[in-house]
């Protein structure tokens, strides 16, 4: 009979949202959680990611329904705004809760 991992207060591996867990996206999501939205260039500077990488990471976040990507022209220059969605906010909060819950059982 296969056994389930017993409840130790630690999260089950599968519970961790890997879309958010990936460091680059964790950083993007942290900024968005605070600012709600940010433009491409800003995120690029904050994260230190290259154009290509930032682009692919926000596309993944978009596919997960965590952000909305809005393209406009401002001052006749392209401006890409990345906007956190409600689902994205919730997912990030869940992730945060899970991590903190895990660390709670751990104090020296």
Partner DNA sequence: TATAGCACTTTGTATGGCAAAGTTAATAAG
Partner DNA sequence: CTTATTAACTTTGCCATACAAAGTGCTATA
Does residue 48 interact with a copy of itself by CB under 8 A? Answer: yes
In terms of residues, how long is the chain? 108
Does residue 73 interact with a copy of itself by CB under 8 A? Answer: no
CA dist 69 and 61 (Å) reads: 10
What is the rounded (10 degree) CA torsion for 29, 31, 36, 20?
10
Q: Which of 30, 35, 46, 69 binds DNA (CB under 7 A)?
A: 69
Nearer to DNA, 81 or 104 (CB): 81
Q: Which of 12, 36, 41, 101 binds DNA (CB under 7 A)?
A: 41
User: Least Å distance between CB 108 and DNA?
Assistant: 27
Write out the binding residues for DNA, residues 49-68 only, by CB under 7 A: 49-53, 55-60
The entry of a copy of itself, DNA, none that residue 40 binds, CB within 5 to 8 Å by partner kind: DNA
Helix (H) or strand (E) holding 92: helix 86-104
The entry of a copy of itself, DNA, none that residue 104 binds, CB within 5 to 8 Å by partner kind: none
Contact 70, 80 (CB under 8 A): yes
Contact 61, 22 (CB under 8 A): no
In a 3-state reduction of DSSP, which class is residue 94? Answer: helix
User: Least Å distance between CB 25 and DNA?
Assistant: 7
């Amino acid at each position: 009979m296969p056994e389930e991992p017993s409840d130790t207060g630690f999260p089950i591996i599968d519970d961790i949202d890997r879309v958010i867990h990936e460091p680059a996206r964790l950083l993007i999501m942290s900024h968005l959680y605070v600012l709600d939205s940010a433009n491409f260039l800003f995120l690029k500077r904050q994260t230190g990611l290259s154009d290509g990488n930032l682009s692919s990471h926000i596309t993944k976040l978009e596919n997960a329904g965590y952000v909305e990507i809005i393209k406009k022209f401002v001052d006749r220059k392209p401006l890409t705004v990345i906007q956190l969605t409600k689902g994205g906010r919730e997912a990030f909060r869940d992730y945060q809760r899970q991590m903190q819950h895990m660390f709670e059982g751990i104090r020296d």
